[in-house]
Structure 1
Amino acid sequence: MEQTINRFVRDMSDRHGRVLSSRHDGLADLSETPEVLLPRLEYLQRSHPSARDITLGIGFCRLALDEPRASEAFEFLSSVTLSPLARFFLLITRMRFGAPDRAFVELRALLRETAVIFPDIAFPLFSAIAEANRCSGWCAMLPDGRLVAGLPEHAAHDLVLRHDGEEQSAELALLARPPGYQVWEIGNFVLPPHLPRIDILHEGRGLLGSGIDSRTVWTFEGFVEGAAEGLSGWCRYPNNLEASDHILVRTVEDNRTLFDGEIGPPDDGPQDSLLQAEKPRTDFLLPWQDMEGPTTPAVTVTDRFGRALYGSPIDPLAGGRYARTQAEWVATRFASAYPASARPTFNQPFPTLYAPRFAVPEADAPAIPTRKVAVIIPVYRGYEVTRTCITLVLQHRGANERVVIINDCSPDERITAFLDTLATLDGVTVLTNARNGGFTFSSNRGLRAVERDEDAILLNSDTLPPPHWIDALRRTVYRAADIGTATPLSNAATIFSYPSADGQNPVPSYEEVIETAEQLAACGCDALIDVPTAHGYCMYIRAECLHQTGLLREDVFAQGYGEENDFSRRAAALGWRHVACLETFVGHAEGQSFSAVKSDLVRRNLAILNGLHPGYDRMVQEWLARDPLGAFRRDLDLARLRHAIAGRPVVALLTHDRQGGVQRFVTERARDNLAAGHVPLVVSPHRAGNGAKDAGWRVIPFLPEDYPNITLPRQGAELHTLLRALGCDRIEIHSYIGAGIRDVHWVSRSGIDYAVYLHDYSWFCPRITLVSHNNLYCGEPARDVCQRCIADLGPLNSDDAPLDLLRDLSDDLFRRAGAIIASCQDVADRYRRHIDAPITLGQWEPPVPTRPATFLPKAPDEIRRILLIGAIGIEKGYNILLALARHVADHALPMRFVIIGYTCDDARLLATGVVEITGRYGEHELAALIRRHPCDWGFLPAIWPETWSYILTEFWRQNVPVITFDIGAPAARIRATGTGLTVPLHLPIASLATVLLTPWLLRIH
């Protein structure tokens, strides 16, 4: 058994390795052995963190190499996607490394939720897990819907089958004999189309896996749309890897069958799904001629169990009929001398490319907003969020407000049971669809229940409405007679999103929803901001607007996305306005019902929307460019910030807009200031567009809450004014890069005390790092040489200030500073040669315990593993490292380089065959990565006088002795502590290789 599984694991690892080698550059030249493949896959994973096939390959390789960490890959895949394959191999990993108790829990869920794969391996594996946990047996569903049960070979073979409230004795046929077990097929079971729960009992007790949820086993995902050639789309059963994909096409009007058959497997065969982290989609194209050609009517497209693909029902040729009618109208309007067609029955004008506005008939609604409201909530999936949403709506509704809930044939029995408990409540109506019709269909069913003088609110079932939310929306709508809809702000509502306008905000807690809603109400903003469209997540619709515009178009938008935009543009064509409600905030979890096909529905329905309303996308983009809500978002951020500051002193940290050690230091300074009772504001350059007028400052408070909208013009006194208004008593200037020396010099004249921190040499060197021609340290020559360097190579500081102006402004800024702080004497000495100002020394990090370096001697042929850490670019010594690697490879020296991090060109280094690269890492991973890649000593190859080195500190923390060039702060720190070796900067490559091979022969500093 164990040998069989070992061969199976190795075979799967090899096969998957060949698949990966054909997909990813950099793997094709490798043998597919796990030993060789694993480190390269781990490197690729860091640059492709979302590539699940790479994650699966890592799991396979680790398992083939008997590494317990194989479970990490399989656990991750099991948690983020529907992956029966990952769950299956996680069971193998559990049993191999002695965790049968965990395997028991995971197998029970696997048997209930997925169909069997690899039966020759699965049957003995399931039996071993059942035996290890003293179970009476196990049961499962095969890919074709048959049931099987595994029993100990000497156990009685009497099984009882139960589903839909009925029991029957199972008729058994022997299927397989894994060690100590017999696997039986249950012959008198046929899977019912309604996919019930199935229990299999032995001697009155459920087998391991009993309670098979056949609806989950046969989870279905699919999408369909019309194309020029026919019906196009995809489908799959993600929990049943070997199930054939089968669809039916029937006419909507009379239920005639136009197609009934299988549409797979994919071209590379059914086994392809057994080599991927998740089952691939099966694409299909059903030609029109295989149905009813150009007369094909509206159809439904379902799977074998009658479950609709998203996009169904679909009237596939409606667009063609629209185009034909328009062509016929034009032909008669501009007829030839011998017209060939009769005039169509209606006039089809040319579609407009702008938003029309006509006068709205005067509304009969009262001036004081007291009108009744019906809250329409379509429900499908997401039990917990749905229960929370409806509970909150009922908790906060008033006397004039009722709730209409539409159960869209939810597959979740808990949702149905919960809605049944609400059906008897006063002011609550529960409607149940006989089939799953989607958001648009269900919304219309609720809207049809709205009374003549009753406003409506369309509300997603995954929202978090705060107290008084309906009052706020109603007040907004009735501020003008022509307002048809109002939509509140939310964390995830496209153009209505806050705090981040792109909608990439975390789902707030309910306490945060209430707090934000209260802050909005307290702002007292009286602006009416028109928007191009309402948003259906929470859409208040005035009764007159609803009745004049009509319902949502379920004929073209199917399950949803775009239907509220179409409604909004139709209403706008009738003269109704759409506005943002700035008085409340509604939380939104987003995407509970059909996230698996969201991208396809959005793409299809946006195309339809732009066909119905040409220029819609452009109109929205123009609105976004104007950003009418931007000023309000900024003011709300500032109001929240003033509340959060609560009288504490404020310190501003002025930095650049790049990554690296400066940002790390600024973050640590912000953390220290916060701990000392100050509120830190990180101020950095920001550019909203490409012009000079778009240049600005972004102010990010270093607080737990998010304030992404505080941007100010670069020119003028707005930053000065804001800092003084917030109580800023000190500025730390860390860099002018990105903003420019002129603007930072202007900030320094705000009248607020400031200090300057020296992180590089940009204050007197536009090249920043003192690296000049041939990518070498320049030696800090006279000013005229610097002028030629800048003329030849150009600046790297994103500033067009001439060298003389740069140094003059820097000198003035330094002379007025309260303090100028350098990390070490080496940095201070270099600055004093160029700018005359007193400089204070201060450590960039807390002291780290160190011990004298020891380079242990190695045998002549013993491989030396040299560790490098971080992002290695030209200034960090890339060219030297590349020359070293090629020298080592050409001379077959016993030395290998391990880079924990990445470089500016990994490929050339990897091509030498003597370099390993892990890829990008998070700071929290670094210590573990160093332990996982044991090395003999470290190398810092930077060719410029660095002002600090966090990497050196990490070497010290891990007790790794270090070799570096005799320049800059790292060399000074090593000399001061005796923790490594410094060598001349321009040492020939051959000599440098000798030093790295035998550092114990040299004098340690």
Structure 2
Amino acid sequence: MRFPAIDIIIPVYNAYEDLQRCLDSVLRTTMPQHRIVMIDDCSTDSRIADYFEMLKNRADPRLYLFRNDINLGFVGTVNRGMALGQSDVVLLNSDTVVTSGWIEKLCSCAASDLHIGTITPFSNNAEICSFPNFCQDNSLPQGMSAEDVNRAIEAAAVPVYPDIPTGVGFCMFIRRQLLNKIGMFDADTFRLGYGEENDFCMRALAAGWRNVLCDDTFIQHVGKRSFSEKKDELVEQNMQRLLAKHPDYMQRVMAFIVADPIKPIRQLAQSFLSLTSADGDKPGILHIIHGRSGGTEQHTLDLINSKNGGCRHYLMVATDDVWQFKDANSGELVTYQFTRQPDQLWTDYLATLCASFRIHLCHVHHLAGCRQGLLEALPNLEIPFGFSVHDFFLACPTINLLDASGMYCGSETDISRCQGCLNAQSDFRGIDIAAWRAMHANFIERAAFVIAPSNMAAEMFSRYFLRNDIRIIRHGADFTATHINAPTSALLLPRDAYHNIGILGAIGPVKGARQLERLVARSRERKLPFRWVVVGYMDRQFQPYQSADTLLVVHGQYIPEQMEALLDHYRINLVVFPSAGPETFCYTLTEAWMAGRPVLVPPIGALYERVQETGAGWVMEDWRDIDVILDDVCRILQPENSADFIQKQKKARAVPITSVHDMAVETEAVYREILQHSDVKFAGPLPKTTLYSALQAALGVEAAERRRSLSIGERGLLWLAHLGLRLRYTAIGRWLYRIVPVRWQQILKQRLLA
């Protein structure tokens, strides 16, 4: 596509080395139909005149060289350049480095909407158009050039061309029709420079034009070398002049900064930038989970955040047609939302997403959020996938093998008995268990690896699915116990002779919520000196709670680092796990042991296995019988058994805990082993329409946030700052300005006058 001629206006004042670098980049990337208008504003560096003479001798037809007879300042020089023709113009600072396709992309942006008046690209140093960090002077990523960053932004771009309140003068496209409509820069008001483009953009908005970001273009901006000595004085004076002309300017720009509506665009570009950096050569791992919190999510996040450095990790929460994709490889967590189109095949949906982010392997932690779609997509991918056993959902839709009574079925495998069990439960009635297991057997057969966190979990899983190569990698934990003498959120308990017995974590049916209720009721009936304290919450009691007789206490949510302090506060020496179904690992058991508390567990699942291995607790005689469990507790707490109790405490404290780092190292070793024997083939990347939908959804959320009114405090600070700036050189103005926080002064004074 051939675009109309553009006048590229480069005002020049000293900065010889910057100018050379800038012009070299412009000449390298600019087509013959465009004019490059360079105006020397009486530079004091004699090398500038020599350079212009050399350029004249080069006789490049694109170059138009001028020199002011007197120093006009930036604004006057730019106006002279804009008056030399009738084409659209691009104002370009001499301390920039342009990149491939820059002028064509600015023209494409202009052609997308005739109401666009000004266009500003991304840059490392461009205030509200800065990348990757908003309103900051960013260095280029280590080992990367401006072209590298530009390619990443191009790859990520749809583009969207979002509105911005003001252009930034380091590189700004201006439509000629807009110049004809509202005139040029206000040289009488802004003189040498600073604030003139902000004034121009405010006038453009008032006349019905748009100021937009060209979000598929990146141009390097070294800084403000030409005016460095005069900058502070010019900013002070011209801010007052700008506010005098446009009293709402500050509030417009501050609202934009607070909302940061273009953040999703920057984030997507950051993800693509990480793929072009040195880390881009690392294998990409996509972790797939459901949308519920708990141990599965904790384990997955531990792997992603382990900072092991061997892989790039991504997280996908798959829920029906809407998949939330999270990337933390660029330093901050970036979240996208992708939606499958009605006619899009599941395999294509997943394959294109994997191709866009160069995913080499999928690690499935759960299928529950999008079971049918993932079962269709994963076996047909051109990249390998593996599976971690976090529960028994693939064997039974009850997830934890609970029967109609709410208790563990004993890992029943007989199809007829299992079908009868499901039919007896309203939530699962009608599910064909034979088809269920057959579908998942095909999925597991095709998996490149299967990982389980305990031998018991692997053994139980293999009863339903024929895999004799399940890897055992225990879940890691890195939190350290911190002693807090009086946690402010803890409840107060009576000082009495009762034994306070701990129950840890989020207690739902499988964790024994109904069992616990029966234990409390039976303790009350038998008048046992037991108080049951839940350090966590229950499915029927989320908030802190204490029964009238204090026999049941619910602390509420906690953080693992506070566990030992909370157990000390509640005077808990014994922790009981009343689980109704088998655990595959159990993080709260690790927390209890790290706090030096022995445990009483049922003879099922990983709880039984881990206690048997370590000796750091006891196993229930009959975990289904409430009275027998209470008898077990009575026996453990008898004074004559205190020596055994102390020994179990010592063993609990001495239990070796796998670190997150070691867990991640073991897991990544599995990845590398699989990838050594895999010929990964990427599909085509995400269609631009899919990226556009994801960005539009994100931008819609940000736009709603942008529309929110500022808080009373924010409005007050803005009013004070505004008044202080207006009256800067009066006594009251100086006082008002001093009481405004420095951060707000910087935002208002430095960031908004690019």
Q: What TM-score does the superposition give when structure 2 sets the normalisation length? A: 0.54
Question: Equivalent residue for 1:986?
Answer: 624
- Which residues of 2 match residues 95-494 of structure 1 at below 5 A? 367-371=5-9, 453=82, 467-468=96-97, 477=106, 480=110, 482=114, 483-489=116-122
Matched, 1:826 2:443: no
* CA deviation profile, 1:170-227 (whole Å, cap 9, x unmatched): xxxxxxxxxxxxxxxxxxxxxxxxxxxxxxxxxxxxxxxxxxxxxxxxxxxxxxxxxx
What amino acid is the match of 2:624?
H
**Correspondent of 2:499 among 861, 864, 870:** 864
Shift of 1:453: 3.2
Q: 1:964 to 1:935 in 2, by over 3 A?
A: same
AA partner of residue 439 (structure 2) = L
Residue 965 of structure 1 contacts residue 982 of structure 1 at CA under 8 Å; is this kept in 2?
Answer: yes
The equivalent residue for 1:582 is 216
Aligned twin of 2:377? 746
Aligned counterpart, 1:735: 366
Range with greater deviation from structure 2 (864-873 or 890-899): 890-899
The counterpart of 2:163, out of the listed 505, 525, 533, is 533
Q: CA deviation at 1:824?
A: 3.2
Aligned with residue 956 of structure 1, among 582, 587, 593: 593
Query: Any stretches of 5+ residues in structure 2 without a counterpart?
Result: 24-37, 42-70, 186-197, 222-238, 240-247, 479-494, 649-754
CA-based RMSD of the aligned residues comes to 5.8
- Within 5 A, what are the aligned runs for 1:503-542? 509-512=138-141, 518-523=147-152, 525=154, 529=159, 531=161, 533-536=163-166, 538=168, 540=172, 542=174
Match of 1:763 among 389, 394, 414: 394
The higher relative CO (CA closer than 8 Å, separation ≥ 6) is in 2
Q: For the residues of structure 2 that align with 1:978 and 1:813, how far apart are their CA atoms?
A: 37
Counterpart pick for 2:311 among 637, 660, 679: 679
Written as runs of structure 1 = structure 2, the 5 A alignment for 1:464-863 is 467-468=96-97, 477=106, 480=110, 482=114, 483-489=116-122, 509-512=138-141, 518-523=147-152, 525=154, 529=159, 531=161, 533-536=163-166, 538=168, 540=172, 542=174, 544=176, 545=178, 548-549=181-182, 570-572=206-208, 578=212, 580-584=214-218, 634=268, 637-638=271-272, 640-670=274-304, 675=308, 678-686=310-318, 694-696=321-323, 698=325, 700=327, 704=331, 708-709=335-336, 713=340, 715-717=346-348, 719-720=350-351, 723=354, 730-773=361-404, 775-781=406-412, 782-789=417-424, 792-794=426-428, 803-838=433-468, 840=470, 842-845=472-475, 862-863=497-498
Structure 1: how far apart are the matches of 2:505 and 2:183? Answer: 61
8 A Cα contact 1:649 1:679, kept in partner: yes
Contact 2:501/2:576 (<8 A) preserved: yes
Alpha-carbon distance in structure 2 between the residues aligned to 1:902 and 1:759: 21
Inter-partner Cα distance in structure 2 for 1:977 and 1:823: 16
SS state at 1:956 partner:
helix
Aligned residues: 520
CA contact (8 A) 1:665 1:844 kept: no
Task: Give 1:700 deviation, angstroms.
Answer: 3.4
C-alpha change, 1:972 and 1:470, in structure 2 (3 Å) is closer
Letter in 2 for 1:584: F
In structure 1, distance between residues paired with 2:544 and 2:263: 49
Counterpart contact for 1:734–1:757, Cα < 8 Å: yes
Are the counterparts in 2 of residues 964 and 971 from structure 1 also a CA contact under 8 Å?
Answer: yes
SS in 1 for 2:374: helix
What does the per-residue CA deviation read over 1:388-443, in whole Å, with 9 as the maximum and x for residues that have no partner? xxxxx9999997699xxxxxxxxxxxxxxxxxxxxxxx8878xxxxxxxxxxxxxx
User: Which structure 1 residue ranges, 5 or more long, are not aligned?
Assistant: 1-364, 376-392, 403-425, 430-445, 460-464, 553-561, 588-592, 594-600, 610-619, 849-859
Aligned 8 A contact 1:885 1:915 in 2: yes
Return the alpha-carbon distance in structure 1 between the equivalents of residues 453 and 517 of structure 2. 30
Is contact 1:866–1:898 with CA below 8 Å preserved after alignment? Answer: yes
Alignment partners' CA distance in 2, 1:763 and 1:718: 23
1:866, 1:820 → 2: CA distance? Answer: 37
C-alpha contact 1:466 1:517 (8 A) present in aligned 2: no
Measured after TM superposition, the shift of residue 956 of structure 1 is 1.6
Any idea what the Cα deviations from partners look like across 1:647-674, whole Å, max 9, x if unmatched? 33444433333322122323444567x7
Residues 1:720 and 1:885: Cα distance change in structure 2 (over 3 Å):
same
Aligned to 2:578: 941
The residue type equivalent to 2:364 in the other structure is I
1:880 maps to 515
Is the 8 Å Cα contact of residues 899 and 918 (structure 1) preserved in structure 2?
yes
State the shift of 1:468 in Å: 3.6
By how many angstroms is 1:811 displaced? 0.8
- The 3-state SS of whatever aligns with 2:347 is coil
1:969 pairs, out of 589, 592, 606, with 606
Counterpart secondary structure, 2:546: helix
CA contact (8 A) 1:901 1:920 kept: yes
User: 2:657: which partner in 1?
Assistant: none
Structure 1 position 809, deviation (Å): 1.7
CA deviation map 1:121-177 (0-9, x unaligned): xxxxxxxxxxxxxxxxxxxxxxxxxxxxxxxxxxxxxxxxxxxxxxxxxxxxxxxxx
Q: SS where residue 740 of structure 1 aligns? A: helix
After the TM superposition, which of the residue ranges 578-587 and 828-837 deviates more from structure 2? 578-587
Q: How far off its partner does 1:759 sit? A: 0.9
Alpha-carbon contact 2:363-2:388 (below 8 Å) kept: yes
Amino acid at match of 1:845: H
Q: For 1:534 and 1:862, locate their aligned partners in 2 and report how far apart those are by CA, in whole Å.
A: 68
Residue 906 of structure 1: aligned partner: 542
Contact 2:106 2:214 in 1 (8 A): no
Compared with structure 1, are the counterparts of its residues 492 and 778 closer, same or farther at alpha carbon in structure 2 (3 Å cutoff)?
A: farther
Contact 2:99 2:146 in 1 (8 A): no
Cα 1:522–1:832 shift into 2, 3 Å: closer
Aligned in 2, Cα 1:450/1:646: closer, same or farther, shift over 3 Å?
same
Please tell me the residue identity of whatever aligns with 2:452: A
Offset, 1:974? 0.9
SS of 2:8 mapped into structure 1: coil
1:559-612 C-alpha deviation (Å, 9 max, x unpaired):
xxx999986665556xx684524222799xxxxx9xxxxxxx99x989x99xxx
**8 A Cα contact 1:513 1:586, kept in partner:** no
CA deviation after TM superposition for structure 1 residue 493, in Å: 11
AA partner of residue 408 (structure 2): Y
Judged with a 3 Å threshold, the aligned counterparts in structure 2 of structure 1 residues 933 and 910 are, in CA distance, closer, same or farther, namely closer
Deviation of 1:889 after TM superposition, in Å, equals 6.6
Partners of 1:937 and 1:532 in 2: CA distance: 59
Could you say what secondary structure the match of 1:959 adopts?
coil
TM-score where L is the length of structure 1: 0.42
Tell me: CA distance 1:751–1:881, structure 2 relative to 1, closer, same or farther (3 Å).
Answer: same
CA deviation after TM superposition for structure 1 residue 943, in Å = 1.8
2:35 is aligned to: none
Q: C-alpha distance in 2, partners of 1:952/1:484?
A: 63
Secondary structure, aligned partner of 1:658: coil
Kept in 2: contact 1:373–1:401 (CA 8 A): yes
1:972, distance to aligned residue in structure 2 (A)? 1.9
